[in-house]
Every structure is written in C-alpha cells, then in structure tokens.
Structure 1
C-alpha cells in the first residue's frame, strides 16, 4: 500500500516512525497508538484506520498525502491536530499533480464556506428488510406486545398436534417497518415482494389469513446473516511461472471471473489460465495490458463528489476571467510561454492556486487554435479528439461521470459496432475507440441523451449486464438465501430474477455505491437548457489535462508496474534448475536424487553404478520402490505395462537429449509425448526453450480438466 511505501521511505531518513493500517492485528494497532500517545513514536503514517475512533492524543500537525477527495474526510483527518477547546487544527496537503492542487484548494474553499458533502442515507435496503422481518417474527415478547395492541392483533393457530404459532398481520408488519425512517418511503409492492420471496425460500410462512409466522429455518437464517458484510472463502492466486502464491481473492470476485479474463493485483495485470474450484486456486500468467484488466477487490476509490468537482470548475472559470482581465481578449490567442507564465503568476495571487497548476490548465495550443472559452470549467464541457482517443472534460465528480461514461460508452459501442472502452475520473471521461475518434459524434449523442431523458433505462440495461452487477448479485443473493456459496452464474440466470427483491436490491446497492443519477441528470438538464455548453476540438496532441485521463488509470507515481517479459522466463528457469528430481536406471535399477542445475550441460546423463544412459525421471508422486517392481516382476497388469513403457520412453528422451530432457520432463504438465515434441524443435537460445516449456505448462493448466489422470 502507499502507506507502507511512504512509511518505509520515511524510516530510512528519520527515527520514530511507524505505519498504522487496518490489516495489522488489533494488538499491534493498540501498541502503536499507545506509543504515539506517549511520544515514543514521533509520527504515524496511517490510512483511514485512524480517521475515526479513539482520540489519539496531542497531534501537532496532520500531513495528508494527495487530496483526500472529500471535505468531510479532510475535516476529520486534520481535526486530529489541535484537538482542544482553544486549539487550532493544522494540516498540510502534499499534492501529486495539478488535479490534486485544484482539488485541494476547492476543498479548502468549501471548508471556509462551511459546506460539507451531502450525506445520503441508505434507504429501503431489501436484504436488511428481509432480515428485520425475520427478527420481528422471532421477537420473544411478541405475544405481550400484540395482546396490548402495540403491534396489532396476535393470532394463534392449532392444527392437529401442531404447536401454537405466533402470527402477525402483514398490514401490521408493514406499519412497523414504515415507522423506521430508512423505510418511511418503502412501497407496499416492494414489501410484499420480499414477503413472497421469503415464503418461497421457506424463511417464513404466509397464511391465507394474510398473516405470517416464523418457520424452523427463520432462526438459522437470522443468525447466519447478522452482518451485511458476508463471510467469504478465499482463493489463492498462483503464478504459473514461479508456482508462488502472489495474492488472495474473495470467492465472490472469483465467481464472475472466467479463463482468459485479466485482473489487477499487487499493482500488476494477470491473465487467468485456470480456476480450480476444489482446491480454491486461481492459476495465472503475467499480462501486459493493464488497461484491459479489472481490479481485484470490491473496494473502490474514494469518490470526489459533484460539489467538489464543481468547485474545481468554478476556480478554473475564475482563472479564465482573471487571465482575460490581465491580458485583454485580443491578446489571448497570441499568448506565448512567457506571457502564459506571467499571466499564471498574476492569477495565482487572486485564486490562491499555485501558478504551476494554472500553467498546466492553460494549454497554449488549445487557446491559440480555439480561444480561452474552450478550456473546461464548471459550465463548460470540452471534448478533444486525438487519434483513437477522445477525452470529455466534465466537472461532474467520479460517480456522475461514471454514470455518463457507462451510457455514452454503450451508445458509442452500438453505433460503431465495436467495443469503446471508457476511463473515468472526477473531471474527465476518456473514450478509447478501435478507429479514429470523432468528438462531434460524442457531442451529438450527449446532446440527444440530454433531450431524450433516457438515462435511467439505458443505465439499468447496461449495469445489469456488468460484471460488477454479477458480483453484487451473488453477495446479495446469499443474504436472501438464494444460494449459500458463491456459484458461477450466467447473465441469463440473473435476468431470470429481474424484478425480484434480489435483483432490485442489487440495482439499488450498485447505484448508491458507484453511480450518481441525480447529478448526471442535472448535467444533462443544464446541457438541454444551455447553461452548460459543449465545445469539440480535434487536437494534434492531447492537452496535458486530457492526458491525465489516461495516466491516472495506471496508478500513482509511487508504484510503477514492471513489464512482465523476460523476468518471467528468468524466474521460471531458476525454479526448474533449482528443482531436485529422482532418476532411475532402467538397466540396473539404481535410483538417486540430484538437482537439475547440477547435471552436466553437455553429453549424456549416465547411471553412477552401471554407466547406462537409459535413465528415467520418476515423478514426485510415484514411489521408487513401486518403480523397481515394474522392472523385476514377471507378470504385469495392463496399467503397470503402460506405466513401464512410459518410464522407458522417459529414459529414451533423457538418453538422447541429456539435461534438456530432464528439464522438459520435470516441467509441470509435460509428459514424454509433449517433451519429445518440444525437444525436436530448434531454438535460437536457451530462453526460447524455456519459453516453450512455460507455454506448454500454461496450455496444460488450461486444458487439464479435459484429461484423465492415471
């Protein structure tokens, strides 16, 4: 993590520094907090693990690395310092790029105006509703409360020898739920749909009297779902080149992955070769295209809100106004670098933003060709096109921009009949085409979308087929007892449940966590009304602000992904040469253990006892004593004869190929037939030989489920 990297670098230059994050054990975290309170530690590098909770004592200053994205987070974090009645909180933000500079100033402006982000309360969560219904049915005091008229009328049922059951009227139950503010707007249709779903899953019993009562499974369901945070199994991710575990994935995430999918873990992209459900192992190889990969976990970037992004746009609009005032309209298009620097220094005094960030924003090429008005701000959208890339600058915040990106990406893919990839941040949407990008087409679709008011329906159609939706559907499905373990489900399976409480709750959860329909609609309304204008420009190169739409997707400057090329072959080769193997002489029966790397590079490998070159490699899972019996027994079964022939073929390969034969046969998934085929080829160097072995191993891993092992 960035916290670990910052901590390790600080520890090299100063003493009394430690790192605090949620992955540490409770005891370690408490010890670090105690050491910090008692001044044994001078500084703690922390994630949000210290954002809330106990008071950590006398903090002189808080240093925030990169923008905290939200006003509330900045106030909470900096508020850790000067934490007394008369104290003054002191904080410093270290900015990583010009976006950070503008955003940090926007946060400070909002703080000074007493503005915090609007906090959206989670409303009408249907999975929590189902759990609460089960809890009410289990209430031990329900008889007393119903008899006193608090919750309605209690019914008692006697059917033969069946024990009496407590029932509650569905209408009364609905009234109870509606009293809670988060469910005050719950519709009767959604409530009844949850009741019917629970009845179908035997989580409660619905009677003809329009009442419900608990069943034997109600209690189990209730206590197995006390938390909305699911307990999930873990899958090990193993690199085929080194056979080492590189990370761990949640089963929910693995459940929507397929062979050949790419994902990012430990800052690097990996391609899936096989998913072993029984052993819970995902076999991968290094991939090169980080843009084609998806993140390896559910957690997401802290979203910059619409309000903060608009404030950034407002600052940029004031920059344009001060530049116009300083230079005059007639001189703006003739501005050179010297005048640009001079203007930026002047403007910086008024808007309190560093002049370097202002210079970055004031793109000379764009201004000289199109004018200052084309620069994006809170009321101006710029769509610039360059080769196969178009960048739409819109100050909508992360989730509103993601909403627009999903819909526009879908519309563009449909129009071009090929996939159009999108990259999103709080200030830009990048569209990556498979042909030349046309910003005018994007403007046309955006304008049409603003007039049509089709955002909701298109977004739902796109999101419901998204892998993220499948991931969330599995999580919520488990909460509803639709399934107990994370299954591998198809899109058709999900569409079958369209309209069900599971589907509706998944949509609500995804919308509230990742999208911002409210402000996306506000942007479209402003476009339709003309208060937000759209400019298009074909450029010889992307503006520096536009280029960051592509750069930001590759991670921060602290963690630079290494290119997975020859290093993979090198690691694979080292692993094989360091491997110990059992060799067996088919002539005299002598067996011995040796390291592959210690075998002679040239010439034949001979038995140390009799000198024969007919030496076979014994697989690690085979007992050597059983191998010896194959060459001493007079009568062999069919299986024994076949295995003896396999060993003799192995000996023939090693006799003719020497050390390379042992290397090939010791590679995972490479048997005598494949080894003979690989060894018959000509290779320009040793690395090419090992690359062929690695490819054969990957092919075996992909196809092994179709093979029968003996």
Structure 2
C-alpha cells in the first residue's frame, strides 16, 4: 500500500480469508533401497488414482528426471513444464492439462503463480519446497476456490528435508510466510529514471529530485547521493548539464529503451572438453561466476570436470575430465531457493527438543504421523551415539579435519553464505592460503590446504560487531560473483554496451572503485545473497552465550552423521558416473591426436605433398618421390600455397611477415621429423602445438604415453594463455 500510495493518506481494506490446507508428508529414507525409484512408483500410483495432478520440483533437472522415470515405468498422459522449454511447449502443456488430455504435469515454479490450469485434484511436492510461501502457492493450485480445501503431499528422501517439510507445513497452515527483502534506493534504476526525465525535458535538477523522492523506493534518497549518480551519468556521456537543466546526449535515447528492464539477461556458458574438443553442456553464468575458477571441479552430465579456463568474452568454459570426483560441485542452472533464517532455526529447535525427549509434545504440536517423526529420531540417536552433540538452534557444532571443516549452523541459506564468506576471507588472510567455502541451510563446508588450525576458525566467531559489515564487503569484492554483478550493473547504468560479454578485467573494475556502480553491485549481492543484519544478530547471540560453540577435531572418515550431507554433496559420493581414470583420458586424447589430419610436404624435392592422419605416419616414412625424410608437418590450409612460399624463402625473395613465419615453421617441423620421426608428427598434431612447443615436449618424452600426456598439458596451457596473445 505504501508503494502505490506515493505518500498520500490511504485506507487499507483487508478482504483476505484464511485458506484451508490439507498437507501430508511421505518419507522414503535414503538408506531405503532405491528411495528415488520408490518415490517414482508412489507418484505413478497417485497419478493413476487421480483425475489430474501437478507435481512440483525445485529444479528443471529433477522435473525432467521424474518425467523420464515415469515414462520408463509406463506412465502416460503427462508433460513437463519449466522455464527452459519454449513458450509453445509450455502453452500446449497448460492447455492439454486444462482440457483433460493430460493427467499430470511435472513442473517447477513456472506453474506456481498466475497461470490458470483449471481444476487440480491435488499437488505433489517432490522434496522440500524450501519456503512456506512456495508451499502455499504450490499446494494452493488445488482447491483453487475460497470454500475448497487445498490438498497436497510432500514426498521427502532426506533427513534435513524431512524436518524442514514438517516446519514448513506448520508455517503454511498458520500463515507464517517469508517476508521479501525490498531493494530500495537502487542506484541503477535511479540513473535510468534520471535519463528518462531528462528526455522528458524536466526543467531542473531540483524538479527531478523532488519528483523522485515522492516514490516509496527513493523517499530516503539524499541530494548528495542524487548528485553522485548525476555526475556518474555525465562521466559516462549519457547526459550533460546546461543552465541547471539535465540535457540528454545522443547515447541517452538507445540506453533508455534498451535498459528498461532490471532483469539481467540469462547468460549461459558452453562447456567444452579440451581433451576431445567436444561440447558437453551449458552452465549458468551466475554458477560460473560464483563458484568456478581454474582447478574447480564440478559435475555436469553425470561426470566430474576440472575447469581449465573461463572465457566470458566468448561465453565458453574449457574443462577436462577430473581424475577423481572429490570436491566436485553439482552444477546448477538458475537460482537455488533460499531457506529462511526462521525456518532453519525452527528446524534446529526441533532437533534440540527431540534430543531432549520431547517426542510426544512435537507429535501433538506439529500434527505429524508417528512413523515420520520416528524415522528422524533414528538420525538424532545416530548423532548422539557418535559424539553426544546435536547441532541445533542453540549449538553451532564445528568438526575440523586436515583438509576441510564442517560448521553445523542452523541459520538458513543467506546467513550461512555470509558466515562462510567471512570465515573463508579471514582465514585466507590469516594463513596466506586460499580457503574455499560451500554452504547449505544447515552447514558450512570449508576447504583448505594444511596449515589451518581450529583457533583460526573459532577466532572468526569473535569478530568485532562494528567490523563485520566492512569485512563482508571486502570479502565480496574479492569474489568472481562481485565482478559478474558489476558487469550487469554497468550494463544497466549504460557504462558498457548491453550486449557486451567481455569480462571486467581487474584494471577496468579498479576504474569503478568508489563509484555508484560499485556501490550498487555490492548492495545487490548484500540483498540477494547475504544477510548482514542476520549475521550480526547471530554473532551477538554467540558472544552472549545464547548460542554455544562446540568444537571437535576429526579424521578423514570421522565426521558425525549430521556433518556428512554436505560432505556427500561435495566430497564423498553422489549420483554420478565414476570419474574417468587418467589412463582413459589419455586414451581419448591419443585417439583424437592420431585421427588429426596434417599436411606433409617434402622440402627436399618440393614435388610431393599430401594430407594424412598423424597415426598413419611411422618412423620409416619417406617422400614417395625422392625418398628423402625432410618432411614438413603443418595443418592443412587450402588457402595457402606453402610450396610457393617455401621456394621464395629458399631463394630469399620478398615475403610478408606471415609468409616468412610459415616458411620458418615448415623448416623447423621438417628438422623435428628428421630427429624424432613419428613422435614429431604426433606432437605437432596437438591443438596449438607448434615447432617451438613440440621441441620442448619431445625432449622430455620417452614413450608415446608420456608424449600424449605432455601434449595434453601443452594444449591446456595454450587454451588458458591464447586470450592474452596479441
């Protein structure tokens, strides 16, 4: 109401009535044989016994997997609906569902709001929906009238999800929903409005400022901050000031219409396997910016891959098969749904109460089936038997090993991300080595080299409260996520072209230090990803003793049951194809190199040349015409007459710089073939391997397998460094 009133006096009439929900939970524990298959059979049974069902999942991959499995076991009359599908496919699914041609649609949040899909018997939510507002919207698709009951079933496979689902069910029925964080004083939006008002010929700076501050979003805008944005727009040549008026420059007109939306373009990077030069799949730009750097291991298409180089300009990420899956991050496309602090704390409180024997009270309070709660009690008992400590709303439990530590913290997604960032930043500074962090709503995983001690972790929890915000902002600025956000903010400000895909180099983004663009990029991350107020509240509770820290040193296989989920997700095992052995990778590279076509020219007679596969040339190969072994090895190129170029070079006739280089490389490659024979041909078949690199490789390689490994390393180096070549 405040947003639309513009500061005028208004009366709010609340015509909302309470909605009746009937929400059930079915738990298939992970130690059950094939829990996923068992869940799919349950879904199929429900589809068969209903007229029409909506099945919600949190990710597109899960939606596609469920649909595929249902079809495998004879499921009929069903479709998939998510944002990656074309509009035509989505509309057809909606219409077919409304008219009764489909019995079930497996969907993500794409069918959560605003689309009339007609009568729905019931809704299935696969996994925890993460938020009570999402559960209400999804279950509310059934019984979609005021006097009808909305019916839904949550099918859960994980202990964390089980307690979370119990909490979300209670919060949904009681109308306790997550509050959105509103982004006020968005400086890129302000810049866009200023340019628009300049185009509209507003008479003065003051008239623009007075109009803007009538808006709810800019009510607290100071005149000094307004002038900062105006000055920034002048510097990037969108406007100028004449006689106290803002005048738009020529660039202002296309900028105003192109930057009308604050929604960033969904940009995806192609993933290329350097060992085969094969396209593997797509990664979300935010995923790459937030989590990937050279050496990062992630899972895509069921296999672990190591990042070799990231090319934001061409929107490609070059990878090679990881020799192991340890440390692999599950790749995601799109945003993961954050779990709110209050939800995570209530999950923690339930853990504590169950550990303290309040089983019967919780059964009555949460109206949950005894079989469901007793299944979670097994998890609590395992934890108690293992170490007598249950992480909860009042206990942060830290387990530290040689290479990684798990901080069990029931603080939700955003606070855990903030705390993880702070821990990684401060510990990295302390020990002088990189510390990587990963999070879920109930844990933080720290990954480090040797040298990190328990005291380094514990010290962070004693950070001075008045330093927290500054330290977090410093940490944010050191992340790829910040550079990615800055790129989008600069596009929205009009500082760079909207279709530009060039990454922000360190020298460029230093230019924007201290500007309103930097301020906006940091603020967006603080609002969308982090929670400064929340982390300060948590640290205060720890300092006061309301939340206790428990610490335990552990061996590699000695982490407690409640620490295991985050380790399983990132470090132990997962639903992936086993990592390729190193020998298998080398065999793949070897086949590619042996199949590479090369142009062979006899430099002795200059009367013979041919195109052959590298694997077809042996040590005894000679020119078929003159029997000489002075054979040059180059990449085939019909546009270049290499024989003519080499003749002119021999006779010292004029050549262009490029032609001289071609002739010299022909001569050097022929000398390598004279010296190394077949090995020289194999080396020169490598991607980006010329005579200079081949000489170094051949001097080190004793066997063909050693040669292939050295070629692969040279190819990786070439891909990493070629972007810097002029």
Give 1:397 shift: 0.6
* Alpha-carbon displacement from aligned partner over 1:395-423 (angstroms, at most 9, x marks no partner): 11110111122223333333444433322
CA distance in 2, matches of 1:239, 1:489: 25
CA distance in 1, matches of 2:315, 2:478: 26
* Counterpart secondary structure, 2:246: strand
1:316 matches 2:351:
yes
TM-score, normalising length: structure 2: 0.78
Q: 1:381 to 1:617 in 2, by over 3 A?
A: closer
| Greater shift in the superposed pair: 40-49 or 506-515 | 40-49
CA distance in 1, matches of 2:410, 2:583: 42
Q: Which has the larger radius of gyration?
A: 1
CA distance in 1, matches of 2:347, 2:550: 19
1:272 matches 2:308:
yes
1:589 matches 2:607:
yes
Does the 8 Å CA contact 1:256/1:489 hold for their aligned counterparts?
no
CA distance in 2, matches of 1:176, 1:656: 80
Does the 8 Å CA contact 2:465/2:539 hold for their aligned counterparts?
no
CA distance in 1, matches of 2:282, 2:360: 57
* Alpha-carbon displacement from aligned partner over 1:642-696 (angstroms, at most 9, x marks no partner): 7557546545655676654433332223334544554465545x43332222223
Match of 1:666 among 685, 709, 712: 685
CA distance in 1, matches of 2:83, 2:144: 23
CA distance in 2, matches of 1:579, 1:132: 56
| Greater shift in the superposed pair: 417-426 or 252-261 | 252-261
* Counterpart secondary structure, 2:203: strand
CA distance in 2, matches of 1:195, 1:131: 11
Q: 1:437 to 1:38 in 2, by over 3 A?
A: same
Alignment of 1:301-340 (within 5 A): 301-322=336-357
CA distance in 1, matches of 2:224, 2:444: 38
Give 1:244 shift: 2.2
Residue in 2 aligned with 1:605?
A: 621
Count the aligned residue pairs. Answer: 653
Q: 1:65 to 1:649 in 2, by over 3 A?
A: same
Does the 8 Å CA contact 1:617/1:651 hold for their aligned counterparts?
yes
Q: 1:692 to 1:312 in 2, by over 3 A?
A: same
Alignment of 1:225-240 (within 5 A): 225-231=259-265, 236-240=270-274
Does the 8 Å CA contact 1:617/1:650 hold for their aligned counterparts?
yes
CA distance in 2, matches of 1:175, 1:351: 61
Does the 8 Å CA contact 2:486/2:521 hold for their aligned counterparts?
yes
Give 1:117 shift: 0.6
Q: 1:516 to 1:276 in 2, by over 3 A?
A: closer
Does the 8 Å CA contact 2:188/2:489 hold for their aligned counterparts?
yes
Match of 1:191 among 226, 233, 246: 226
* Alpha-carbon displacement from aligned partner over 1:312-332 (angstroms, at most 9, x marks no partner): 112112202326999xxxxxx
1:695 matches 2:710:
no
Give 1:305 shift: 0.7
Give 1:249 shift: 6.6
Alignment of 1:162-241 (within 5 A): 166-207=201-242, 209=244, 211-231=245-265, 236-241=270-275
CA distance in 2, matches of 1:67, 1:240: 38
TM-score, normalising length: structure 1: 0.80
Does the 8 Å CA contact 1:604/1:657 hold for their aligned counterparts?
no
Does the 8 Å CA contact 1:315/1:351 hold for their aligned counterparts?
no
Unpaired stretches in structure 2, ≥5 consecutive residues: 1-60
Does the 8 Å CA contact 1:664/1:670 hold for their aligned counterparts?
yes
Residue in 1 aligned with 2:585?
A: 568
Match of 2:475 among 462, 466, 469: 462
Give 1:477 shift: 1.6
Q: 1:87 to 1:562 in 2, by over 3 A?
A: farther
CA distance in 2, matches of 1:628, 1:292: 54
Give 1:706 shift: 7.6
Residue in 1 aligned with 2:538?
A: 523
CA distance in 2, matches of 1:100, 1:257: 24
Give 1:125 shift: 0.7
Match of 1:30 among 91, 98, 106: 91
Does the 8 Å CA contact 1:252/1:474 hold for their aligned counterparts?
no
CA distance in 2, matches of 1:257, 1:385: 22
CA distance in 2, matches of 1:584, 1:8: 54
* Alpha-carbon displacement from aligned partner over 1:288-327 (angstroms, at most 9, x marks no partner): 587878898894321111111012112112202326999x
Residue in 2 aligned with 1:7?
A: 67
Residue in 2 aligned with 1:637?
A: 653
Alignment of 1:451-530 (within 5 A): 452-484=465-497, 485=500, 487-489=502-504, 491=506, 494=509, 497-530=512-545
Alignment of 1:393-408 (within 5 A): 393-408=408-423
Does the 8 Å CA contact 1:405/1:422 hold for their aligned counterparts?
yes
Give 1:552 shift: 2.8
Unpaired stretches in structure 1, ≥5 consecutive residues: 140-165, 327-342
* Counterpart secondary structure, 1:534: strand
| Greater shift in the superposed pair: 689-698 or 244-253 | 244-253
CA distance in 1, matches of 2:459, 2:286: 39
Residue in 2 aligned with 1:548?
A: 565
Residue in 2 aligned with 1:19?
A: 80
* Counterpart secondary structure, 1:382: strand
Give 1:497 shift: 3.8
1:114 matches 2:175:
yes
Residue in 1 aligned with 2:398?
A: 383
Does the 8 Å CA contact 1:256/1:470 hold for their aligned counterparts?
no
* Counterpart secondary structure, 1:168: coil
* Alpha-carbon displacement from aligned partner over 1:532-558 (angstroms, at most 9, x marks no partner): 233333446211111223223369944
CA distance in 2, matches of 1:385, 1:231: 40
CA distance in 1, matches of 2:65, 2:660: 58
Does the 8 Å CA contact 1:618/1:624 hold for their aligned counterparts?
no
Q: 1:18 to 1:663 in 2, by over 3 A?
A: farther
CA distance in 2, matches of 1:239, 1:106: 43
CA distance in 2, matches of 1:574, 1:621: 22
* Counterpart secondary structure, 2:119: coil
| Greater shift in the superposed pair: 511-520 or 2-11 | 2-11
Residue in 2 aligned with 1:55?
A: 116
Give 1:561 shift: 6.8
1:362 matches 2:422:
no
Does the 8 Å CA contact 2:315/2:501 hold for their aligned counterparts?
no
Q: 1:252 to 1:430 in 2, by over 3 A?
A: closer
Q: 1:351 to 1:493 in 2, by over 3 A?
A: farther
